[in-house]
Amino acid sequence: MAADFSDVFFSSITEINAKLRAKEFSCVELTRAFCDRLQKIGPRYNALALSLEKDAVKQAHDVDDELHRDRTRGPLQGIPFGAKDLLAVKGRPTTWGAKPFANQVFDEDAVVIDRLKGTGAILVGKLAMVELAGGGDYNIAGASMTGPGLNPWDTSRWSGGSSSGSGAAVAAGLVTFALGSETSGSIITPAAYCGVTGLRPTYGLVSRRGAMALSWTLDKIGPICRSAEDCAHVLHVIAGSDHEDPGSAGRSFSYNPQFVRKPAETTIGYAPVDFNEWADPAIRPALQEALGVVKSLGFQMKEVALPDFPYGALVGLIIAGEAGSIFEDFIRSGQVDQLADPTQIAGLKAMLDLPSVDYLRAMRVRSLVQEGLRDLFIDCDMLLVPARMELAPSASEPLDGPPRSGPAPSSRGMSGIIPAGNLAGLPAISLPCGFANGLPIGISLVGRPFYENQLVTAGAAFQKQTDWHKRRPPITA
Amino acid sequence: MGINRRTVIGIGIGIAGAVEIREIKAEPQQPIPAQSGADAALQSARNQLRGEAQRIASVKLPATTEPAVHFHA
């Protein structure tokens, strides 16, 4: 009788790996089950860019052979995963989510893909994304050659971007984990909107070689998973030095919760105004509850606020300066006009007019932002913020939406932490923390550079007290 | 990139962003007769970058002793 995978689709990395080692099912059976599901259900959310079933089954046979010989390679061995379609896979199309690149093929795997395959993880498919990771400033969910990323919790809503397919595929149990990338918000946002756990690593911790470049000084690659501990397992494999990525920090990552200070010795900074005024009223009760859970874990809490900088403008100009150079030939060739979103097209074209002094000034102000955030971490070890201030927006309306209604918040608080954290290269984790109107809500911890161990440990502690990360969206077979 | 900058402004930073957009639109511009949609979008994108540059220019930089402009976390 064929194995029943209905629970396995939503199991953690370590649970599935244990079942494989116990021979409850073979890696080939597991891989075929996930490939079938990804191909059948993925298109409902416009989450699938390319199935890699044939390659995946071949690799799964190899894993089965290894397991028969009791050769184990760690918790990712035999685990099906998906990769955002900006990561190169040798000999297969890598579209960057954009029609003009539909037939692009590279002759090497991206470093992160290579590292995961090396531990026996099974790449079952490329996942959809916003075209060119949204660098041209997109304004519609449909800014992708695969159509708008739809949210498994409510398909009238957006799954977030630019790692749209990665967030949706993990939420819907189409892969056990996925790789996403973040320049400014592209892991944290889909993780929050889709109710999964996303980890944005410190800038430089994970090699970008083989990934589409959007901004050399902002791009990061990271995992989107079901739990904080799953993120740690993936990060352990993909982190590490790469002398061919000039941004590489030459560091590695190991998950060692025993080396993290106890909550009573750890201070978390937060801004009440984020939870009481900035957040959409619909999500405030869940955020307040999450704040209560964090406090109950015994952390020291301290009220803080971001220093005053034009974070959104800084990210915008730095991306414009770098993406304008990266895509200059593409823009000048006129191929840019084949993109799906007119806002992106215009945004990319306008980048070519950016004076270099404006870009350089932004980079110099950025160093002040780094200093300001460094000062913030003198008195606290982590920051706690709403991952997003709102629920997933409609997939059919412009993303800039109507102006905010109601009274202006009384202070800045930590609003702006997504661009601020990305400017400073800080790591962050988004954790599911509740629901409103049937849609997930996320809370985020932000840490000092290279303090992922602390973020994951705190995230795991939060997830021991809650079960939001175990909820499943309504999916009919 | 996570979400468009105007969304970051409009939702993430909220009120400040609405002010920012108004400032951009308030800039003196040459009248552009019968612009196509694409031309108008391009002009809007240029204005947005110009507005962002103006906001960044308002941040006072220290007398420069920076050895280089580079980035690491």
Interface ipTM: 0.89
Q: What pLDDT was estimated at residue B9?
A: 38
Q: What pLDDT was estimated at residue A244?
A: 96
Residue A162, preceding peptide bond in cis (omega within 30° of 0): yes
Q: Per the structure block, which two tokens stand in for A278? A: 């900035």
A84 is catalytic: yes
Q: What pLDDT was estimated at residue A15?
A: 98
List residues of chain B with CB under 8 Å from any CB of chain A: 1-15, 17-18, 20, 37-38, 41-42, 44-46, 48-49, 51-53, 55-59, 61, 64, 66, 69, 71-73
Q: Which of A184, A389, A450 sits opposite B11 (nearest CB)?
A: A389
Q: Identify the active-site residue in A84, A117, A126, A220.
A: A84
**Within a 10 A sphere around the Cβ of A22, how many other Cβ atoms?**
9
Give residues 109 to 138 of A whose Cβ lies within 8 Å of B: 130, 133-135, 137-138
What count of residues does chain A have? 477
- Measure the CA–CA gap between A154 and A12, rounded to whole angstroms: 23
Please say if the pLDDT value at position A52 is more than 50.
yes
For residues A149 and A46, the answer to whether their CB atoms sit within 8 Å is yes
DSSP type of residue A277: I
pLDDT above 90: percentage of residues in chain A: 97
User: Per residue in A185-243, pLDDT tens?
Assistant: 999 999 999 999 999 999 999 999 999 999 999 999 999 999 999 999 999 999 999 99
CA distance B22 to chain A (A): 12
Closest CA to B47 of B61, B68, B26, B62: B26
List, as one string, the DSSP characters of A166-202: HHHHHHTTSSSEEEEEESSSTTHHHHHHHT-EEEEPP
Under the banding of pLDDT at 50, 70 and 90, the label for residue B18 is: very low
A162 is catalytic: yes
Least CA distance to B60: which residue of chain A?
Answer: A365
Do strands A267-270 and A220-225 pair parallel, antiparallel, or not at all (unpaired)?
unpaired
Fold of A1-400+409-477: Amidase signature (AS) enzymes (3.90.1300)
Please say if the pLDDT value at position B11 is more than 80.
no
Average pLDDT, chain A: 97
List, as one string, the DSSP characters of A311-367: HHHHHHHHHHHHHHHHTHHHHHTTGGGGSS-HHHHHHHHHHTT--HHHHHHHHHHHH
Contacts of A403 (CB under 8 A, 6+ apart): B10, B18
Q: Identify the active-site residue in A186, A207, A430, A444.
A: A186
Q: Per the structure block, which two tokens stand in for A197? A: 């756990």
Cβ contact B3–A360 (<8 Å): no
**Within a 10 A sphere around the Cβ of A435, how many other Cβ atoms?**
16
Where is pLDDT greater, at A4 or B8?
A4
Q: What pLDDT was estimated at residue A400?
A: 87
Q: What pLDDT was estimated at residue B67?
A: 65
Cβ contact A350–B7 (<8 Å): no
Q: What pLDDT was estimated at residue B22?
A: 31
Task: With beta carbons under 8 A apart, name residues in chain B contacting A309.
Answer: 59
Please say if the pLDDT value at position B64 is more than 80.
no
Under the banding of pLDDT at 50, 70 and 90, the label for residue B62 is: confident
Under the banding of pLDDT at 50, 70 and 90, the label for residue A83 is: very high
Q: Which of B20, B41, B57 sits opposite A346 (nearest CB)?
A: B41
Four-residue CA torsion sign, A49, A53, A58, A60: positive
Please say if the pLDDT value at position B25 is more than 90.
no
Quick check: A415 contacting B, CB < 8 Å? Answer: yes
- Phi and psi at residue A54, in whole multiples of 5°? -60, -50
Which residue spans within A27-100 are E strands per DSSP? Answer: 48-51, 80-84
Kindly state the average pLDDT of the residues A314-342: 98
Under the banding of pLDDT at 50, 70 and 90, the label for residue A476 is: confident
> Tokens 């460094």 sit at which residue?
A374
Kindly state the average pLDDT of the residues A386-397: 97
For residues A279 and A313, the answer to whether their CB atoms sit within 8 Å is no
Quick check: A401 contacting B, CB < 8 Å? Answer: yes
